[in-house]
Structure 1
Amino acid sequence: MQNPVPVLSMRKLYSSASSRQEFIAEIGKAAREVGFFYLEDHGISLTEQVKVLDIAKSFFALSNTAKKEIQMIHSPHFRGYSANYSELTAGRRDRREQFDIMDELTAFSDADIHHEWQKLIGPNQWPKQLPEMKPQLLSWQDKLTEVSLQLLEALCESLEQPSDALSETVRKGPYRHTKLIKYPGTSEGSEQGVGAHKDPGYLTLVMQDENSGLEVEFEQQWYKVAPRPGAFVVNIGELLELASNGYLKATNHRVTSPKKGVTRYSSAFFMAAQLDASVPVLNLPPHLAKQAKGPTSDPNNPLLNNVGENVMKGRKRSHPDVSMRFYPQPLECTSC
């Protein structure tokens, strides 16, 4: 079977009323059947994408000393550099170097922290050797946010809901997380770059270089999601699957390491509900509800009602060294 991941053109969303409806039908079908799709004509130029990959290459080429100065172990907000085998996926160590940012914010004072997840909020770490990196990546994150919020509205419409059905959950700004990633080659060729997993949020947008490695599970088989110049690979997260009562599909995916002598670079952008949000379960019309393939949702599911807490749990699982340093004991809730 050929690659099941469809290609969508975002241009249709704004071309005409009929083209818009065609796009909404296409994104709904892709998100329900596969949970993955390529997105073209999204308004972010190939030149801009290449510049982000170039800054990633420049960063990872810095000395180990320079990178360790902004290692994630220095950040209670889980920002900064991670070396190979630092992050865990499905309990196993990933072979990849990473640089993580989120929103550039001021950390809460200790007196203002009533929930442990509030400690996720704070500043990023930046390499002093690359002063251009901060404005470039923050601008990049803003542009991907705009694209992902437009997709979220289109997906709500595909569920025959108002386009703003989930807008209250991102009104103060969605939770945003961007990674620059370097996958070194290995003689094994099939070593875990990232283990099989589903993303926890609403949407993920991935930009790949020319080297393949991303794979998606579809009907119990794994398929390569080969790079398409200029296109993002978009996938549905578990939070959106739950909000759609199982209609939209969060799909297992993984990254295998490239062959020896090849280095793969990519950037991943994750968008979810704001950390203090409660996410509703959308009331789908019967003809859509009966097509749902995923798990049905309990409106009291803690994944829907404790967004920040679940983001924090995920960060702790993925980065046990940071967790051990800054979170050896859970914070007792003072306002529950």
Structure 2
Amino acid sequence: MSSPVATVVSAAAPYDRAKAVKEFDETKVGVKGLMDSGIQTIPPFFVHPPETLATLKPGPEPESAPEIPTVDLSAVQGSRAAVVEQIRRAASTVGFFQIINHGVPEELVRRMLAAVKTFHEQPPEERSRVYRREMGKGVSYISNVDLFQSKAASWRDTIQIRLGPITADWSEIPEVCREEVMEWDKEVVRVAKVLYGLLSEGLGLGADRLTDMGLDQGRVMAAHYYPFCPQPDLTVGLNSHADPGALTVLLQDHIGGLQVETQQGWIHVKPQPQALVINIGDFLQIISNEEYKSAHHRVLANYSNEPRVSAAIFLNPSDRERLFGPLPELTSTDKPALYRNFTFNEFMTRFFKKELDGKSLTNFFRK
């Protein structure tokens, strides 16, 4: 039994954030494990600074709030030019849009979301088997990719799976979601080829220009789980950031919480049944010489008693050693290249050296 003196000294000791973060990571059960333990208040290392919290408004959104564009892909059959213009406008302004009538079976959408939820709600000993911060085997279950770099952690857990150009070890992909992930990947590749064709034409290029660069070949899925947060006004589900790659295809459930930063401020990306959320990444902003814009986005901490789940596939070039930069067709004496050339390997190394802090990766590659 400890003495009263020891208790006083312990209580007065300064909070050791690094130690707390390390201990949390070593439990290998993530935020879900914290909630299962019955906590009523979030650990201090999840509390975000006042300047971040000041912009948050957890809770239902007004019906009259602005929305990001929605594009009906089936309209391509009637007027491809009109759809190209819709996507071009969205990609060059807000950098986000939703697509409907994309051809992904409704039943697969349901199964995919259910599979993500099932993985994250397995007994802790099951999901902790793949808890690791390296992607050596192509599968990694973690809480916060930037846990050790960030000023404050975010209230979510994630399973990452490498899908291309070399797929993760089949045996490493958890059986509870393996089949669904593989089917989902095939559908996303199909949809991405359609989108790249439309985006390419929106730049005044041939429909195959972006896919010829292999921009649908490098793929990683991040399937997030956002449990109920007892103090959603003190933290976030995912901090403000721009995606580093070319294009992101996101499936989100009905809970909501995803927001994108626009000229009108932060607006909700309202869940639509069967819709996929598409956003432009930093890489596509660079090679388009800023014809297209990546957008900062974030996810609010989940105030709902029901967990929020989502699955994002990040589409990138497969050749990590090839030199990339603004496409020559999009530069001229009137509009010179705004960025230097770089390898995708250098690009992603830079991304993982920084926290998800709202500072765009593009800043590191400007001329």
Distance of 1:78 and 1:263 partners within structure 2: 26
Q: What are the superposed Cα offsets for residues 119-148 of structure 1, whole Å, 9 maximum, x if unpaired?
A: xx85363235x3xx2232112112101211
Q: What are the superposed Cα offsets for residues 29-72 of structure 1, whole Å, 9 maximum, x if unpaired?
A: 01111100010011002221110011111111111111111112
Distance of 1:162 and 1:103 partners within structure 2: 27
| Structure 2 residue corresponding to 1:279, chosen from 324, 332, 335 | 324
Counterpart for residue 314 of structure 1: 351
Is residue 175 from structure 1 mapped to residue 218 from structure 2 by the alignment? yes
Structure 1 residues 70 and 285: CA distance shift in structure 2, 3 A:
closer
Q: What are the superposed Cα offsets for residues 221-278 of structure 1, whole Å, 9 maximum, x if unpaired?
A: 1011110001011110011111111110101100011115231111111101113333
- Once superposed, what is the RMSD of the aligned Cα atoms? 2.7
Shift of 1:21: 0.6
**Number of residue pairs the alignment of both structures matches:** 287
Distance of 1:78 and 1:96 partners within structure 2: 20
* 8 Å contact kept, 2:165–2:217: no
* Mapping 1:131-170, distance limit 5 Å: 133-170=177-214
Letter of the structure 2 residue corresponding to residue 138 of structure 1: M
Shift of 1:316: 5.7
Structure 1 or 2, whichever has the larger Rg, is 2
Distance of 1:97 and 1:206 partners within structure 2: 16
Counterpart for residue 297 of structure 1: 338
Distance of 2:355 and 2:193 partners within structure 1: 26
Distance of 2:196 and 2:128 partners within structure 1: 37
| Structure 1 residue corresponding to 2:118, chosen from 45, 58, 79 | 58
Shift of 1:180: 1.5
Q: What are the superposed Cα offsets for residues 4-38 of structure 1, whole Å, 9 maximum, x if unpaired?
A: 4111011122x14xx10100011000111110001
Letter of the structure 1 residue corresponding to residue 229 of structure 2: T
TM-score (normalizing by structure 2): 0.71
* Aligned-partner SS, 2:223: strand
Counterpart for residue 23 of structure 1: 83
Counterpart for residue 109 of structure 1: none
Is residue 38 from structure 1 mapped to residue 81 from structure 2 by the alignment? no
* 8 Å contact kept, 1:28–1:158: yes
Counterpart for residue 127 of structure 1: 174
Is residue 186 from structure 1 mapped to residue 232 from structure 2 by the alignment? no
Q: Which runs of 5+ in 2 are unaligned?
A: 1-63, 357-367
Counterpart for residue 18 of structure 2: none
Counterpart for residue 270 of structure 1: 314
Counterpart for residue 8 of structure 1: 71
Shift of 1:308: 2.5
* Aligned-partner SS, 1:101: strand
Shift of 1:87: 3.9
